[in-house]
Structure 1
């Protein structure tokens, strides 16, 4: 049985790092990238540990093995995650519904991944729903960036309810900035 939960131990962090490394854009072939999607940022065990000390991420386990994860990324993590700092700098001039994005309470999805053999079983939605359960009362929305060439990921995010608010190009790729509003956001 699949179980969504917060990360609680070093073994789970190691499994996240291994699953991330196996699905990096640089580690998979072009057909897999097109068909299954890909990950852009690499996460070491040390970086994941530092992030989880700030705010634990959500995982889905199957028989005590991590088969999916959705990394919580708060603003405070910019101090330990260089790419997150760049991302936040790129986001700072954005507005949403006529207000500066920085006037909202939001956090970011650092990365989401499901092990290939467990895809298509509703785990993507389960990870996000657990994020909403754990963090929804503290924030107005969850924000992430998805490569515009990662069609599978963009489709999955739209299916959950994310909306694109901006597209830009940086030193790595072209990104759609997307948000998922929580119920407490009054607009």
Structure 2
């Protein structure tokens, strides 16, 4: 029996569940995540911005990770650098993503719930993200959330669209 969905801010106790879901959704596993973050990186992000998770029956079935520009600038992530070179955003902007929903929970509105909670916690700030331009499901989902394309870039033989949003 499925319990109700809980949307909440992640804590260090949630790291294993986030990593497990991230690993299950890598391109090598048939997913659409093209990279991964270490537990240490995610924990650092937790000290800086809210990391939102969806939980059903004590299992993390979705996450939305965010990174401030300050934390991002301490790292050298080539694909994020390519995105930032194509669109810098506002002074107070942050990086949205990755977002991931478990395969058996897709199409049920979880991404929108995660995003709604992020907007509640981080109002009036611009979020910037990139999506591989052949990922139709993600492109449609983010457009449905009210995000708009602001740029594009080419990285590792693939084309990406850059989206941004700022809601009160």
- Tell me if TM exceeds 0.5: yes
Structure 1 position 147 matched with structure 2 position 140: no
State how far apart, in whole Å, the 2-side matches of 1:161 and 1:87 are: 22
| Residue in structure 2 matched with residue 59 of structure 1 by the alignment | 53
Q: Deviations over 1:32-62 (max 9, x none)?
A: x5xxxx1111122222122212223011111
Structure 1 residue ranges without an equivalent (≥5):
95-100
Instruction: Report what 1:47 is aligned to.
Output: 41
How many residues get paired?
165
Matches of 2:21 and 2:35 in 1, distance apart? 12
> What residue in structure 1 maps to residue 141 of structure 2?
156
Deviation at 1:181, TM superposition (A): 2.1
The Cα shift of 1:151 comes to: 1.2
The equivalent position to 1:2 in structure 2, one of 1, 5, 8, is 5
Secondary structure of the structure 1 residue equivalent to 2:47: helix
- In 1, Cα distance between the equivalents of 2:96 and 2:16? 19
Establish whether residue 24 from structure 1 lines up as the match of residue 9 from structure 2: no
RMSD over equivalenced CA pairs, Å:
2.0
SS at match of 1:110: strand
The question of 1:126 aligning with 2:113 is answered yes
Match 1:73 to one of 67, 71, 83: 67
Change in Cα spacing, 1:173 to 1:179, as seen in structure 2 (3 Å) is: same
Structure 2: 5+ residue stretches without partners: none
- Compute the TM-score of the two structures, normalised by the length of structure 1: 0.79
* Aligned counterparts of 2:40 and 2:17: Cα–Cα separation in 1: 13
Would you tell me which structure has more helix in proportion to its own residues? 1
**Structure 1 CA distance for aligned equivalents of residues 105 and 83 of structure 2:** 34
Once the two structures are TM-superposed, the CA of residue 102 in structure 1 deviates from its matched residue by 4.4
In the alignment, the residues of structure 2 paired with residue 168 and residue 89 of structure 1 have an alpha-carbon distance, to the nearest angstrom, of: 7
Query: Following the alignment from structure 1 to structure 2, what is the Cα–Cα distance between the partners of residues 90 and 117?
Result: 30
